[in-house]
Structure 1
Amino acid sequence: PTAYPTTAPPTTTSPTTLPLTVSPTDPPTLPQIESENNEQAEAHLPNSVDDDDGAPESSSGGVTGSTPEGNTMHGGLYNSFQTAPLSQGVGTHYASVWIGTPTPQRSTVIVDTGSHFTAFPCTPCIDCGEIYHTDNYFDTSLSVSYEEVSCADHCSGKCVNNHCQFSQSYSEGSSWIATLSRDHFFCSSEAKPLPQDKEYSISFRFGCQTHLTGLFNKQLADGIMGMSAHETTLPHQLNIKGKLEHDMFSMCFSRGLSHSKEGVSAGIMALGGADTRHHTSPMVYARNMKASGWYTVFVKNIYLRHDDVLRSTSAETPKNLRDYTLTLVSADVGRMNSGKGVIVDSGTTDTYLHSSLRSSFAKAWKEATGNEWSKNKAVTMTEDEVAELPTIMIQLEAFDSKSSDMMDPNEVVGFAGSDLSRDSPRDVLLAVSPQHYMEYDPQSEQYTNRIYFTESSGGVLGANAMMGHDILFDWENKRVGFAESQCDYSSVDEAIEVGVGNSDVDEHNSLDCELGVPSIKSSCLDNVKFSDCVDPDADLVSHLFHAL
């Protein structure tokens, strides 16, 4: 399943959800969170009532100066964060979470920025997809720390035999029922929980599913983990309980050509920041248009970039302008961003844009390629022919259009630059390559374009638009960051697992034996706050001397 809202949500209301195979234009069915009088109640699961957990011993080099208005940040970036692998599901990406004590049990959960809540099957769930899922049900009897949340403990669901019960239903017929529960919970690797990841374990509230229908039964992942800007989500709870320095997280998706219960590596998730070791371009920031709920960006323009020589999949502008053409897709900006706006939704497989763009996109496609747009029909193509298709360039409103940092918008990959956007050169350019919007079916050996123009208001930038980027969902600073990346977990895996794997070494001391990769996140110049310098008239060297 994939979450897709039809209206801007209040902070305590669960989103409408739709299946992966159904367009979000289908009429939604609101999730039912029932109260004792059988009226719809707020879907509010306040994790904050749990006891605080102690913060892990970690370096503290986070942002020292930031404001919602977008003042320049200075002083270092996000040294306190946790990195974990993501795996390929059926049209989705999922993380491995470990629950319970003394021996944590694994469950796999779809990482979904379009949902608020976390839920997965527990015993004694019957016919809850165990033959399809990666893991057995979470056995509550094996965890000494597991407990169900009582009706008296901030229950906003339906009280059944003094147990807090809530449910969620989906427009194509899928649904689940769960008991609100609490246990020790953390993210880690697929095979086994790593010692350093256990330091991020907290008492966390989740839904212990007791009944499933529809797609939840047959998906590869066991359950779902809501990652929206909502108080019930794991990143927010880790932050308020002192485990993470900042209320943010990043996800980087790659596409595996297969999936299996054993897991196919397909990306990276960092809780508390962004792990820049795998970035191939700097992080640039778009404004998050909503204070809470879904991460919403403002789309200004859409372009088709076509080049027969470089076939670049990056937002980087080719130096030789003769190597490419850039075709503007005519758009009504107001309609394109109407209603709920355009959300960045990791739980939606494909990208859905406003219906008013359909004809102008087809016209721009014909102009850029000389061919008719195939719409969303399966076509037979070679890999080379796919690579020759245009890269879709989506221009997003900048988080801070007049930032005083030292990044030149005409030189930094990911900025629109003054040639493309004279009035706002710091707007973000999101490059969606044909390898990501064209989905390959190995059975039919055909490709299908997964950009849809079906929405009556707003739209969704789904997982295929996110691929090839590390995207920072920064609730703390009301922004969404984009950095290009191959999203290869193995590129950071060796550094993450330093000191792990020697069973003869005490696990609490093993991580102190070696130094990891240095975590300088930006250049020296980027960390200078010039307004604090002693002599504003001195040359640059003098500035640096006083600042450092």
Structure 2
Amino acid sequence: MIRLLLLFRVADAVRNATVRWPLSAHTGTHHIQLWVGQPPVLQTLILDTGSRLSAWVCEPCPHCGQHQSARYYDPLQSSTSSVTLKVHGFSDNNTTTCQFPVSVREQSQCLLQQHYTEGSRWSAYEVTDLVTLSVGHDEDDYEASLPYSTVAFTFGCQTKLTGLFTKQLADGILGLEYSEFSFLSTLRDHGILSLNEAETSPDAFSLCLTPTGGWMALSGALLEKHQTPMLHATLNRQTTKGMYSVIVQAIWVGTLCLTCDETTDEFIQAFATGRGTILDSGTTDTFLPQALADAFQEAWEEQTGRQFTERTGSYTEREWKRLPVLTLVFEPGHVNITIPPEHYMERKAGGTNIWSNRIYVDEPEGAVLGINAMMGHDILFDWKRGTIGIAPAQC
């Protein structure tokens, strides 16, 4: 009875989100669409809880590849745009200070760059314009979107891309790490996300992801999709600047716990090194600490009768059914994420029995829980309150 009462109170403490947007997915990456400028241009952006800057391709960008949008945003063609510093073709009344702490003031522009772990990077200059999150997926949704989230927002106007950014479907990226210059902070500052902070912080948001899309919701969770009440893990805000780092207390491979005796303290410490263990919606796969590799291999073989491999392999129906569920337990100890094989294994196209394992046990510091770890849960990111809400959900 005490346990049931605790869960009831936890569920009561979570506000149901009243504003939500549909997401789409392509090759393992989840996207949201927004309108930029006047006349409005529809842009498709990666949702990335693992980075803080927002930027998308702008005209002209001759070496930026082909992306989702029929046309790129052009600040010179928008009647509501302003560049942070004076650029040829803009009026003299533009602002004169850089908005982003990471920007470099160089002659007539505030320039910024972003590098990512897998090697991609982009260069951009700061622009401010009207931005509206789209409630749908096509050109007819602009008027319906206007009442919810139209704000003047400062972002990066990309002029150069390298690596995966030149090949991806998305036009750019929406950084969802906590920072005072994020899109969610801008919505909060304009009063769009104001509510009683005793329930949920104004700039909290939840992601409920599926292989084909899902939902993003603001200032609350998607309670109607929850299969059990939402529980709250503690964020480690000491080692990260805005990143959503959880504190791992245990990891299970099927029915075997890798961290449940005194000799495995080093494994728990491995989850906490570097940035710690971050929830990163901009990463498709999951990367566990390299320090666990031998123990993970041994547990995998005991559970499946097969050697663990990160390469493509063939599995019979019987072998598939024996693949373990991975479970990570977070502080304060009763909160967990479960990763079933249908999320961490990817079937080769054509309906064959050939699968690719998308769990890697090779991260040199900490761990990265990507989209395949987050799927099947509604996850509430609340930096101000220092918690990550997790509930199994039908997204």
TM-score range normalised by the length of the shorter chain: 0.7 to 0.9
For residue 470 of structure 1, what is the aligned residue in structure 2?
Answer: 378
Which residue of 258, 266, 269 corresponds with 1:329? 258
Partner of 2:125: 179
Determine whether 1:250 maps to 2:206. yes
Task: Please tell me the root mean square deviation across aligned C-alpha atoms, in Å.
Answer: 2.3
Aligned match of 2:15:
78
Number of residues of Structure 1 aligned to a counterpart in Structure 2: 357
Match of 2:147 among 171, 188, 198: 198
Q: Secondary structure at the match of 1:219?
A: coil
Shift of 1:387: 4.1
User: Which residue, 328, 335, 339 being the options, matches 2:274?
Assistant: 339
2:52 is matched with which residue? 116
> 1:186·1:198 contact (CA, 8 Å) conserved in 2?
no
Cα 1:341–1:170 change in 2 (3 A) is: closer
Equivalent of 1:451 in 347, 355, 359: 359
Cα 1:288–1:135 shift into 2, 3 Å? farther
Offset of residue 160 of structure 1: 4.2
Contact 2:45 2:171 survives alignment (8 Å): yes
Matches within 5 A, 1:91-106: 91-101=28-38, 103-106=39-42
Would you say the 8 A contact 1:304–1:328 is kept in 2?
yes
Give the whole-Å Cα distance in 2 for the aligned partners of 1:220 and 1:395.
34
Rounded to whole Å, the distance in 1 between the matches of 2:98 and 2:298 is 55
Counterpart residue identity of residue 218, structure 2: L
The TM-score, its normalising length taken from structure 2, stands at 0.84
In the alignment, does 2:298 pair up with 1:363? yes
SS at structure 2 position matched to 1:460: strand
CA distance, structure 1, for counterparts of residue 188 and residue 73 of structure 2? 26
Greater strand proportion: 2
Distance 2:218 2:26 in 1: 20
Cα 1:365/1:73, change in 2 over 3 Å: closer
Task: Report the equivalent of 2:91.
Answer: none
Residue 254 to residue 79, structure 1, CA distance change in 2 (3 Å): closer
Amino acid at match of 1:279: H
1:137 is the counterpart of 2:72? yes
Q: Residue in 1 aligned with 2:247?
A: 298
Deviation at 1:281, TM superposition (A): 1.9
CA distance in 2, matches of 1:336, 1:173: 23
The match for 2:161 is 212
**How far is 1:95 from its partner?**
0.6
The answer (yes or no) to whether the contact 2:285–2:359 under 8 Å persists in 1 is yes
**Structure 1 CA distance, aligned partners of 2:183 and 2:312?**
39
State the secondary structure of the residue aligned to 1:379.
Answer: strand
- Corresponding residue for residue 388 of structure 2: 480
Partner residue in 1 for 2:345? 438
Give the distance between the partners of 2:378 and 2:171, measured in 1 at CA. Answer: 25
Q: Residue type matched to 2:71 in 1?
A: N
Segment drifting more, 205-214 vs 110-119:
205-214
Secondary structure of the residue aligned to 2:313 is coil
> C-alpha displacement at 1:385, in angstroms?
4.4
Does the residue aligned with 1:250 lie in a helix, a strand or coil? strand
Matched to 1:334, the amino acid is Q
Q: 1:279 aligns with which of 226, 237, 248?
A: 226
Q: Any idea what SS the aligned residue of 2:249 has?
A: strand
Distance 1:236 1:218 in 2: 30
Q: Which of structure 1's runs of 4+ aligned residues deviate more than 4 A?
A: 72-77, 170-173, 382-385
Counterparts in 2 of 1:175 and 1:236: CA distance versus 1, 3 Å: same
Task: State the 1:173 CA deviation.
Answer: 5.0
Superposition deviation, residue 457 in structure 1: 2.1
8 A Cα contact 1:97 1:187, kept in partner: yes
Q: Which string of whole-angstrom CA distances, capped at 9 and with x for unpartnered residues, describes residues 276-295 of structure 1?
A: 12222211110001164210
Aligned to 2:309: 375
Structure 1 residues 170 and 294, CA, compared in 2 at 3 Å: closer, same or farther? closer
Summarize the Cα distance change of 1:242–1:387 in structure 2 as closer, same or farther, 3 Å threshold.
Answer: farther
More RCO (CA 8 Å, sep 6+) = 2
Contact residue 386 and residue 435 of structure 1 kept, 8 A: no
The alpha-carbon distance between structure 1 residues 174 and 377, as it changes in their structure 2 partners (threshold 3 A), is closer
Aligned-pair distance for 1:373? 2.8
> What letter corresponds to residue 329 of structure 1 in structure 2?
L
Q: Secondary structure at the match of 1:358?
A: helix
Residue 373 of structure 1 aligns to which amino acid in structure 2?
Answer: Q
What SS class does the counterpart of residue 270 from structure 1 fall into? strand
Deviations 1:472-509 (A, max 9, x none): 1011210001111221xxxxxxxxxxxxxxxxxxxxxx
Q: Distance in 1 between matches of 2:330 and 2:12?
A: 27
Structure 1 portions without partners, runs of 5+? 1-71, 257-265, 306-325, 399-423, 488-548
d(CA) in 2 for partners of 1:173, 1:161: 28
Deviations 1:292-334 (A, max 9, x none): 42101111111133xxxxxxxxxxxxxxxxxxxx211244212
- Greater Cα radius of gyration, structure 1 or 2: 1
TM-fit CA distance, 1:161: 4.5
Q: Does the Cα contact within 8 Å between 1:133 and 1:218 map onto a contact in 2?
A: no
Distance 1:329 1:87 in 2: 35
In 1, the alpha carbon distance for the partners of 2:22 and 2:29 equals: 14
Is the Cα contact below 8 Å between 2:273 and 2:366 reproduced in 1? yes
8 A Cα contact 1:107 1:135, kept in partner: no
Distance across 2 between alignment mates of 1:444 and 1:77:
41
* Matching residue of 1:168: 114
**Measured at CA, do residues 387 and 148 of structure 1 come closer, stay the same or move farther in structure 2, by a change above 3 Å?**
farther
Q: Which of 174, 182, 204 is the matching residue for 1:233?
A: 182
Matched to 2:15, the amino acid is Y
Alignment partners' CA distance in 1, 2:246 and 2:176: 16
Q: Is the 8 A contact 2:17 2:221 kept in 1?
A: no
In structure 2, stretches of 5+ residues that fail to align are 1-8, 86-94, 195-201
